[in-house]
Amino acid sequence: MLIPLTLLILHLLPCLPQTITQTPQILIVPLGGAVSLNCSVVGASDPYMYWYKQDLHQGGLKLVVFSFGKDSAEEPTIPDFKANRGSQSDFSLSSEKAKATDCGIYYCAWSHTGARVQGGALQKPSQAQCTEWPLLAPYGTAPH
């Protein structure tokens, strides 16, 4: 009876829910301050992971960096940012000195392959919140 039960469990494993978590939910840093955005995926084996940026008052997302597995992060498209894929499920994006041009909403996403990306939608903060401080909001809405 142990073998059929094991087969049933192995058959159901792909049905378990996958979750993606970004921290911190809201990050406001002074110009020149350090930035660290973290992303973690649970329930997906060997996911491809991505960081996207949405500039304020623009509709499209720009791919910042992607990774196909542990220790495989490409060079980020934003100057002075670094990406780290220290494990199969964790992907971070950081900079030692925030600039005004870093202001935006950052999204982490994952996929089983490079073709299907999963992530969450966010609401844009107002323009006033980015004129004085870079606002890096990986998840959620900025305070009003």
User: pLDDT at position 123, please?
Assistant: 33
Task: Identify which has the larger pLDDT, 4 or 83.
Answer: 83
* Residue percentage of the chain with pLDDT more than 90: 35
Instruction: Report whether pLDDT(8) > 50.
Output: no
**Buried residues in 8-43 as b, exposed as e (16+ CB within 10 A):** eeeeeeeeeeeebbbeeeebbbeeeeebbbbbbbee
Per-residue pLDDT, averaged over 104-118, amounts to 74
CB 80 within 8 A of CB 96: yes
Q: What is the pLDDT of residue 10?
A: 38
The CATH superfamily assigned to 17-137 is: Immunoglobulins (2.60.40.10)
Q: Taking the domains of the chain in order of start, what are their residue ranges?
A: 17-137
Q: Is the pLDDT of residue 25 over 70?
A: yes
